[in-house]
A and B are shown apart, each in its own frame.
Chain A
Amino acid sequence: MDLSQALLLFVVFTPGALFGALALLWLAGYVPAERVVSRITGIAFAASAAALAVIVLRLAFTGSDRVVARFGNWFAAHQYEFPLALMADRLSLPFLAMTVMLSGLIGRFSATYLHRERGFLRFFLLLHLFTFGSLLAFAAASFDLLAAGWEVVGITSVLLIAFFDRRIPPVENALRVFAVYRSCDVGLLVGVFAMHHWAGGASFVRGLPALTEAQGVIVCLLLLLAAAGKAAQIPFSGWLPRAMEGPTPSSAIFYGAISIHAGAYLLLRAQPVLVQSKLACGLVIAIGLLTAIHGTIVGRASADAKTSLAYASLTQVGVVFVEIGLGWTWIAVAHVMGHAMVRTLQFLRAPSMLHDYHQMHSAAGGELAETGKHLDELFPERFQLWLYRWALDRGHLDTILDRGVIEPLMRLSNLLARIDDFGTGGALKRRREPVMRLTSIRPGSD
């Protein structure tokens, strides 16, 4: 193992090891002081950033375009292998750097922001676990390992949405987000198995698995389902405002920067297969375009700072999807990087938004021009009102999902429960989950 490989291993597994160590300490009854936790976090991310810089410099000097670290198979059964290989190439390095830098920044910011907050240690534990999951997903050399990191990101995301666990809405919204994530992740799982089945593997160290055109379309559509779920693209956009229930630093890193772009990364990884299929490309462009339009309209009608920032984020990710569908890989990567940085800053400044606004207002001499007025004038008033109502209900996406998927499923579940109770003479009659339970709490209600 050469230095670059060792450093890549260090970068990816340091947050995971920190999570494990801190969690075991807590289980054993020792709760480290806030200062200790924030110091350890700072040192770990600084070291990771330095290691990543060394990897980039070594790549630049050697002229190589990637570092691959293979550790054999995580497991193997018969002809099925789960390779444990990490790779830092031109695509993954920017994402790795973004993750390390922003996680370190969020760690530093949160040490003050969450000072003496109940759950300080829990936040940092989940931050480390999330960073580990993201780095694993971005540095994975196969879709199998990418899926493992992907799932970890999803679980930490949900646990952080429910961070303020004494209030019901964050908890219920976390459940809703979890449901969307898990449902869409089926696409990733089945897509990976389809690659194994048709191409004998899902590693992309030497290019993507060889698939026929039809197979490529199926795999791309499955991956698109997973990517759309994670990136809150239409029709799954409804979970994003619900996710704003978490603490601001986690919203910044998840929905302004890393998690929301994981879907784009997945599609970028699959792009060599994607570009072969006009159908899949067209679908990616259509979903991205619709999401961008949806995001910009709904964002304008959002009443709170974090939700309007979330929709602004959604709009940009939609545009990134369009770029990916058009095959503009490097524009998409640059767009992701720039957007993640700016949006993280905006999210972190969100609690001071009024103060910033007043400052800007004074600096502009007491008059700030209204934006979007020229767009308003393009449409008749009745259409504007309709659009406003549409935007207030966030494009009715949650309602469509509720009525089309959740309600029928819950009705079926209640019916099965009644069938199961048949013959018990009513002795086992009990309360059931109401049909609308998963849908009754809307973002912002408390």
Chain B
Amino acid sequence: MANSGFILIVAAISIPWLGALLAVLIKRQSRALGFAAAAASALASGLLLQGSPGRESWNEALMLLFSCLSAGALLVLPRRDCTPGAVAGMLFLQGSTLLAYSTGNLLVLLAAWILTTIPFLPARLFGARSWRPKIALLSSAIAFALAVAVIAAGGRELSIDRLNGQSAGGLPAFGLLVLAVILRKGICPAHAWVADAAESGPLVPTALLLNGHLGALVVAKLLVPLFPDAARNLFPALSHLALATALYVAIRALSETAPRRLLALLALSQSACILAGLESGTAEGITGALLQWLVVTASTMGLFGILRLLEVRFGENLTAAVHLGLAEHAPRLAVFFVVFGLALVGLPGTLSFFSQDLLIKGMLESHPLTGLLLPAAIAMNAISIFRLFTRLFLGKRRTGFTVMADALPRERWILTVGVLFVALGGLFPNAIVSLRWAESEPDGQGIHSPVKP
């Protein structure tokens, strides 16, 4: 069983890498090849999840989610973006992210962390035109590398399991890890790169990078279990910073008119809640954070995908400053957009209704005063997402604009799968909550366990 688990992990990680290599070499049928590789990886992750005991299922669940996300992203990617290089880059990102989720070794985690940033550095691949994303990603990688070095020197060990509770490296290592998380996750004051990356980089691959949530992963996997004392005393500061980020970015989004930036800000604000929930120390808060992880990932990927589809149909000068009235041409895309958008901000009947229910409960319990910021931030995000919807899809039809295709069958079906995920998750949340419950025991052990082959 242990061997088969190891084989499945290797398969889930190496198939996308192999697919990336083939996509570059063959240069034909890139989408089909990429989708097949991502789907095979998803299958391996699914089998891994099925065979894993409850307490160790979170990493496998994340692997399955990210593999499905990559497969969906490859399907929804517009033809003009679907070059062999882009497909290879996305598959490489998928393999690297799965490596980060599955590993129990510090050095491997560092390698995965660096590998996920590589496609976003050169301008000819996924590099953004703005300098801030590159600096943020590089700085976070350096901070993480220094932290690993300090931990390894202090604990003389690289296995996360064996380092548990030892506070190896002490405060310097803890501080460096927090810095890496702040930079990677886009926590204030290092938040501006996220919107820059979304605006001046390729949209769908950037959404994949952001939805890896490696910052939150490091919090769950390293910060809390490795440094229990420091986490108890200093971690609330990070939580308050995450809450402040959620509110700051929510207010910031109110005046934004560039759709890409606006969506990036909303995604950032909603995902900052994940960190706050993980830190809350309450079972409700942690469960809410884990559910929020799933919701933010699925919803923002859907939203970014739809936005890119609109850009290639309408032209890349989309703006939320005026009403474009696109619903008349693309009613299904409009419906998908509003459902994903409202699902991101807690629409009843979707999974986010429960994730935010639990998050707010956990936050109000652990931080009664600052916890109040969370519902305020979510309310503002809801207003911003609805504003974006009304500006893009409602209003007067653009004159001199004749035909624009609605969702193609390929896009329609994959977006329907996404909507069904957030909707069915909302109708039957217990299936997911009970799965996560084992991970969010108040002792906090579950979420920190790496996959044991």
What residues make up the interface of A, taking CB atoms closer than 8 Å to B?
27, 73-80, 82, 133, 144, 147-149, 151-152, 155, 158, 162, 165-168, 171-172, 174-175, 178-179, 182-183, 185-186, 189-190, 193-194, 196-197, 409-410, 412-414, 416-417, 420, 423-424, 427-428, 430-433
Contact = CB atoms under 8 A, between A and B. Distances in A.
Interface string B173-200: 0000000000000000001100110010
B255 A414 contact: yes
A78 B255 contact: no
B230 interface: no
B4 interface: no
B364 A416 contact: no
Given A77-B358, A431-B319, A433-B255, 7 more contacts: A76-B430, A78-B283, A158-B386, A183-B379, A189-B360, A197-B364, A197-B365
Best-surrounded residue of A75, A79, A175 (most CB of chain B within 10 A):
A75
B252 interface: yes
B390 A175 contact: yes
B447 interface: no
Interface in B339-386: 342, 346-349, 353-354, 357-358, 360-361, 364-365, 372, 375-376, 379, 382-383, 386
A412 B442 CA distance: 39
Given A27-B412, A75-B429, A165-B325, A413 B251 contact: yes
Contacts of A168: 323, 395-396
Which bucket holds chain B's interface residue count? 35 or more
Given A166-B325, A196-B361, A433 B251 contact: no
A273 to B, nearest CB: 19
Nearest to A149: B348
B365 A171 contact: no
B252 A420 contact: yes
Contact of B395 (A80, A133, A171, A193): A171
B335 interface: yes
Interface string B253-272: 11111100100000000000
Contacts of B261: 430
B286 to A, nearest CB: 9
Given A166-B397, A416-B251, A186 B390 contact: no
B255 A77 contact: no
A433 B430 contact: no
B55 interface: no
Given A74-B429, A77-B283, A168-B323, A178 B386 contact: yes
Nearest to B287: A77
B302 to A, nearest CB: 14
Best-surrounded residue of A78, A409, A413, A432 (most CB of chain B within 10 A):
A78
A161 to B, nearest CB: 11
A432 B257 contact: yes
A174 to B, nearest CB: 7
B234 interface: no
A27 B323 CA distance: 24
Given A171-B395, A197-B365, A420-B192, A410 B321 contact: no
Given A77-B358, A151-B348, A193-B361, A186 B254 contact: no
B13 to A, nearest CB: 31
Contacts of B323: 168, 171
15 contacts: A27-B335, A73-B430, A74-B429, A75-B430, A78-B442, A147-B348, A167-B396, A175-B383, A183-B379, A185-B379, A190-B360, A420-B195, A424-B196, A427-B130, A432-B255
B130 A428 contact: yes
Contact of B347 (A155, A416, A417, A431): A155
A185 B387 CA distance: 18
A171 B394 contact: yes
B358 A433 contact: no
B394 A413 contact: no
Interface of B: 130, 132, 191-192, 195-196, 199, 248, 251-258, 261, 282-284, 287-288, 319-321, 323, 325, 327-328, 332, 335, 342, 346-349, 353-354, 357-358, 360-361, 364-365, 372, 375-376, 379, 382-383, 386-387, 390, 393-397, 412, 416, 429-430, 433, 437, 440, 442
Contacts of A79: 283
Given A165-B395, A175-B387, A433 B348 contact: no
A346 to B, nearest CB: 29
Contacts of B360: 189-190, 193
Nearest to A148: B348
Given A75-B354, A155-B347, A80 B257 contact: no
Nearest to A84: B430
Contacts of A73: 430
Contacts of A155: 342, 347
A413 B387 contact: no
Contacts of B395: 165-168, 171
A171 B375 contact: no
B423 to A, nearest CB: 9
A73 to B, nearest CB: 7
A186 B364 contact: no
Given A155-B347, A189-B360, A430-B257, A424 B130 contact: yes
Contacts of A172: 390
Nearest to B416: A27
Contacts of B394: 162, 165, 171
B118 to A, nearest CB: 24
Nearest to B397: A166
A80 B255 contact: no
A439 to B, nearest CB: 13
Best-surrounded residue of A144, A148, A167 (most CB of chain B within 10 A):
A148
